[in-house]
Amino acid sequence: MGLLPSLRRGSDRWWLPCSFQVTEVLGELLVSYPPSQFRPEHLGTNQSVTEHSVTGQSFAVPSSTGASCLTAGTRRRLHRAIMSDPPLMIFAALGWTGDVVRPMQLVDWLADHIGARLASGDAYLGEPALTSTLSRRWQRLGDHFRTLPKQRWLAEAELWLEATGPPVPPAWKKQWPKLEADEELAANVLNAGSESEPPFHLLQQLARTRGQQESLQQAFDQRLHRNKLAALKQLAYGLSHEINNPLANISTRAQQLQRAEEDPARAAMLQRIVDQVYRAHEMIADLMFFANPPEPYLEPVHVLELVTEAVEAYRAEAERQSIRLELNLTDGSGTLEADPRMLREAIGVLIRNSLEAIGCQGTIVVSLENYPDRVLIHVADSGPGVSPEARRHAFDPYFSGREAGRGLGLGLCRAYRITRLHHGEISLAGGPAGCVATILLRKS
């Protein structure tokens, strides 16, 4: 048992229960109905505005009502739900703005409004707790309403509303419509197509809708990534021109002053200025590489030798930090078409990231897995680990996880671009402690 969207009048709110059967038929309506009907307060040029008599919210209602798009089967099941479930009838009727309402009009009203009501941010604000006491009260109300003629349901609707809200204002109750039977019209609609129409498979339709959403999301992500790269390329060109020139002037002046400086402390301070200038220049170069990398020069590469060279390049630095740098190489005798300089740099980025994360007194293990169709290069460390949020953004430029003790800046972006240039994949895995970075390269 759940809740229908709240009914609101001023600051007062009332809630009605939503049974499993009603949830199913509304779910069928949502997945089979035009999505444009479910956008509150989004109007097009051919749409008119209807104000909800209870919530006071405005909803877009197309000039050619979308209720006409319902199949006979959906209309039949929705009508049956309204006529057998007092809360659903009350919910729909209190949204109706006329003095008299027929059940088939409630079908149309629900078709035009339920999506927007469910999607509204105000729909479940301040919802009550679904306690056993409330469930028993709803059960008693259901038993009572089954003994009443359906035309009496709206006359006694306040019994349902006051179960979860304040007393119903008499002035509001006077505005409620009266239910008028439309058995002949309903019978014509409900019997239409009842024999020939196949059953509605809600789970199948939901699965298809989910698949369509995932496909759209993937296409959107790909387009967003392309646009992001194009914007980064423009930014990198601008930074390269506008910032590198001042940086060059700063470096030149600092080196000139350093050559004439006799005070060792001042000379060291000028050297720090030069070092920081070079660091800024490298950051701009990394951004340029990410946005517009050069084409790799492919040649046969012995992977085992390449990984060993990359590790040995950081051996001395690891010893200075009291970090144990280990190699775990299986059969790596195969070759791979790759740019050795770029690939060596990508592996070095992962090792350097591990060194920075550990700081001192830890372990880094670089391992190689060689398969007939692919090569896996792992760099595992005993550092502070990487959070799920950091893993999602690890290869975005300038995303940083330094608050957790691990820098995830442009270095990993550079490794990502190198791997993608080789039609490979790079990923991070780990939890609260430790991290494993993996480069996957496919053999041609």
Q: Dump pLDDT digits (tens) for 23-80.
A: 888 887 877 665 544 444 433 333 333 444 444 444 433 333 455 567 777 788 888 8
- What is the structure's pLDDT at 315? 92
For residue 88, is pLDDT > 90? Answer: yes
Over the Cα atoms of the chain, what is R_g? 34
- What is the structure's pLDDT at 42? 39
Q: What percent of the chain has pLDDT above 70?
A: 80
Q: What are the pLDDT digits (tens) for 293-312? A: 788 888 998 888 899 999 99
Q: Which of 171-175, 232-236, 396-400 has the lowest mean pLDDT?
A: 396-400
For residue 406, is pLDDT > 80? Answer: no
- What is the structure's pLDDT at 56? 45
Q: How far apart are CA 438 and CA 265, in angstroms?
A: 44
Q: Average pLDDT for residues 340-365, to the nearest whole number? A: 90
Q: Average pLDDT for residues 377-402, to the nearest whole number? A: 75
Q: Average pLDDT for residues 133-145, to the nearest whole number? A: 91
| Mean residue pLDDT across the chain | 79
Determine the distance from the C-alpha atom of residue 101 to the mean position of all C-alpha atoms in its chain, rounded to a whole number: 41
In order of their start, the domains of the chain are: 2-200 (no CATH), 217-291 (1.10.287), 299-442 (3.30.565.10)
Q: Which of 27-36, 206-215, 230-239 has the lowest mean pLDDT?
A: 27-36
For residue 201, is pLDDT > 70? Answer: no
- What is the structure's pLDDT at 65? 47
- What is the structure's pLDDT at 203? 62
Enter the tokens of residue 335.
């070759």
For residue 155, is pLDDT > 70? Answer: yes
How would residue 183 be classed by pLDDT, with cut points 50, 70 and 90? low
For residue 404, is pLDDT > 60? Answer: no
How would residue 269 be classed by pLDDT, with cut points 50, 70 and 90? very high
Q: Average pLDDT for residues 317-333, to the nearest whole number? A: 83
